[in-house]
Chains A and B, each alone.
Chain A
Amino acid sequence: MWAGARRVALRIGGAILVLWAAATVTFFAVRLIPGDPAQAFLGGPGSQASAEALARVRAENGFDLPLWQQYLGYLGRLLRGDLGTSYSLHAPVADVVGEQLLGTLELALWSLVIAWIIALGLALWSVAGGRVAAHVAAGIEMTAAVLPHFWLGSVLILLFATGLGWFPAIATPDARGIILPALTLAIPLAGFLAQLLREALQEAAAQPFVLTARARGESRVGVFARHTLRHAAGPAIGLTGWAFGSLMSGAVVVETIFARPGLGRTLVSAVQVRDVPLVIGLTLVAAAAYLVVSVLSDLAERALNPALRVSRDALVERALEAETPAAPGTFSTPGAFGTSGTSEPSGIFEQPETSGTEPRA
């Protein structure tokens, strides 16, 4: 119990440290931006602001103070939740973020749900369908995982909006309007999750406890639902934090294609007009969201399968590179449900790699 509490405290402490470092990096990165911040505040170099107005803005915003004082003031304001004032919208950044947050969260959640459904379907089909299915699924997964959002979004618009007319091409606030944007985000993510799930399912199916459960007389379906799937879903759930981060990146593109209000679209327009406080505010919010979801998904994963303390880092590494050589003594026996595909798995995870995922004694 105490070890668990300590782990949670360490994770949260680590997240706060990372946030602080992120805020510091962005603060000093802004100093690299050419141009006078006071001028930017008054509408950019073209605005011909008077010297008095510039001086007033400098004094009001503390641009004339020594750097360390500005830095401390900035951190203090951050702690109070004050992200500054947007140059272009002339509204507090926190308010802008608050307005746009809901749209992006809604989009991200829908995408996560859809991605999970597709990934589960694909992974189950490839595990249950034998060798050919595994190969086909691996191909689909890999292609889906690399599809760029900007292209997928336009193809979906072409098919379902202009072609079939099922869904609107421009995002509308109702449920019909969110399907295409959510699908655009979900398909690449589903490809990625499915690769991970399939690998984990094949690995879990080869574990001794599956054989034991079958020997006890449990049905195939029962073993699958109670043991294999639970065992295999953990790592993918643990990756939800990472997935959320990738959704934030994707939202930037998807919200632009579908003209959907949200953080991503606001970020793009803020970058275009070089609205520095808004860009920083949005990046910090994105980083914070990523960290919060990472901690939460980490905890969920542990709650789901306490025996399986998989290092999330190791999983991300594995998933991103498929470089890990097979550990000696890898289970390469065919799975328990006729998953002959395991003897020759294809795709990103060539060999079930057990060293990182075995329950620690």
Chain B
Amino acid sequence: MSSLRRSARHIPQALAALVLLLLVIAAVFPGLFAPGDPLAINPADGFQPPNTTHPFGTDGSGRDLYTRVIHGTGPSLLIGLGATALGIGLATVLGFVAGLGPRWLDFGTSRVIEVMLAFPGLVLALLVMVISGPGAFGATVAVGLATAPGYARIIRGRVREIAGSGFVEAARVQGRGRMRILTRHILPGTARSLASLATLGLGQAIVWVCALSFLGLGVAPPAAEWGALLNDGRQFIATFWWLTFFPGLFIVLTAVSATVLGRGLAKTTRSVS
């Protein structure tokens, strides 16, 4: 394959990385993109459709939706990151225990994972929301717990695959200790998988957290988090479409970028290993 073609294959990933980078900048310095106040109300300007002064339109209180979406990037990404970290962290523990432990431990852990998987994701998340109560923290925990079993199964498979591979066998034959094999071979071997899994998961986590907020169980509406914006606009889907369209567009953009980048990472994992 020519190098031109090879670099052409990376265009989607480069674009995805650029989008995510811009989103992170918007999360840290929202004022760079939207200098206005996301909470400034102007009742005379209520429910303005998208126009030159309000590119995304305004909500019922005349707040500029573009400013609110940009300022919502921070909380949305933060909750998504928290949920992903929790999910992947929990899954890593479960996956390593199941993948490396003795048979009975693997059996037990795998059954635990199976029980968690039996609950459809959002249903499990809603169950957690009842226990934790609505709010950003509850949503983070709920989505983290709901996504963990799927990741745990994948990580367990990967750990077992590496543990059974030739180079681990070779290290064992050479008399390397178990800890050394774990830290020098198995952990680095799973690190790249974990990175791609976390990137893929970030997109999903943001979608799920926003789904909870959309249902009125996540972040409360005065805040500018994307899901809360969606919840705000929910009753106006048929009349003031921009209220759900633009926050949703940002969620989709984030999810697609994370997916493209995560799969790109998965590909490089494969070519390296």
A residues contacting B by CB (< 8 A) are 14, 17-19, 21-22, 25-26, 29-30, 32-34, 142-143, 145-151, 153-155, 157-158, 161-162, 169, 245-246, 248-250, 252-253, 256-257, 267-268, 271-272, 274, 276, 279-280, 282-283, 286-287, 290-291, 313-314, 316-317, 320-323, 325-326, 347-348, 350-351
Contact = CB atoms under 8 A, between A and B. Distances in A.
Given A18-B118, A272-B217, A287-B119, A323 B197 contact: yes
A101 B52 CA distance: 48
Contact of B126 (A158, A250, A252, A321): A252
B215 A323 contact: no
A317 B154 contact: yes
B176 interface: no
A252 B154 contact: no
A41 B241 CA distance: 40
A158 B237 contact: yes
A214 B154 CA distance: 38
B153 interface: yes
B123 A267 contact: yes
Interface of B: 111, 114-115, 118-124, 126-127, 129-131, 133, 150, 153-154, 157-158, 193, 196-197, 200, 203-204, 207, 210-211, 214-217, 230, 234, 237-239, 241, 244-245, 248-249, 251-252, 255-256, 259-260, 263, 266-267, 269-270, 273
A290 B200 CA distance: 24
Given A151-B248, A317-B153, A317-B154, A326 B123 contact: no
B123 A274 contact: no
A150 B252 CA distance: 11
A322 B196 CA distance: 10
Contacts of B111: 17-18, 21
A316 B35 CA distance: 45
Give me the 10 closest cross-chain CB pairs, A-B, nearest first: A151-B248, A249-B122, A248-B120, A245-B120, A287-B118, A154-B244, A21-B115, A249-B120, A148-B207, A146-B255
A150 B211 contact: yes
A26 B19 CA distance: 40
30 contacts: A18-B111, A148-B207, A150-B230, A151-B244, A151-B249, A153-B237, A154-B244, A154-B245, A158-B238, A162-B241, A169-B238, A246-B120, A248-B120, A253-B214, A268-B126, A272-B217, A279-B130, A283-B127, A287-B119, A290-B118, A290-B120, A317-B153, A321-B154, A321-B200, A321-B266, A322-B266, A323-B196, A323-B270, A350-B270, A351-B270
Contacts of B273: 325
Nearest to A142: B259
Given A158-B237, A253-B211, A256-B214, 5 more contacts: A155-B248, A249-B122, A253-B214, A268-B217, A350-B266
Contacts of A313: 153
A146 B211 contact: no
A245 B123 CA distance: 9
Contact of A276 (B130, B211, B255, B263): B130
A303 to B, nearest CB: 23
Nearest to B157: A317
A36 B121 CA distance: 28
Contact of A350 (B133, B214, B267): B267
Interface of B, secondary structure class, is helix
Contacts of B207: 146, 148
A146 B120 contact: no
Contacts of A326: 270
A151 B252 contact: yes
A296 B126 CA distance: 26
Nearest to B110: A313
Contacts of B196: 321, 323
B251 to A, nearest CB: 6
Nearest to B258: A146
B244 A323 contact: no
A18 B114 contact: yes
A290 B124 CA distance: 13
Contacts of A272: 216-217
Contacts of A250: 122
B46 to A, nearest CB: 19
B123 A323 contact: no
A162 B115 CA distance: 42
A143 to B, nearest CB: 6
A29 B128 CA distance: 9
Contacts of B133: 34
Contact of A323 (B210, B214, B269): B269
Nearest to B194: A323
A155 B200 CA distance: 24
Contacts of B129: 271
Given A150-B210, A252-B215, A246 B266 contact: no
A157 to B, nearest CB: 5
A161 B259 CA distance: 30
A253 B114 contact: no
A176 to B, nearest CB: 16
Nearest to B129: A271
A348 B252 CA distance: 18
Nearest to A242: B117
B146 to A, nearest CB: 9
Nearest to A288: B118
A316 B156 CA distance: 13
B123 A158 contact: no
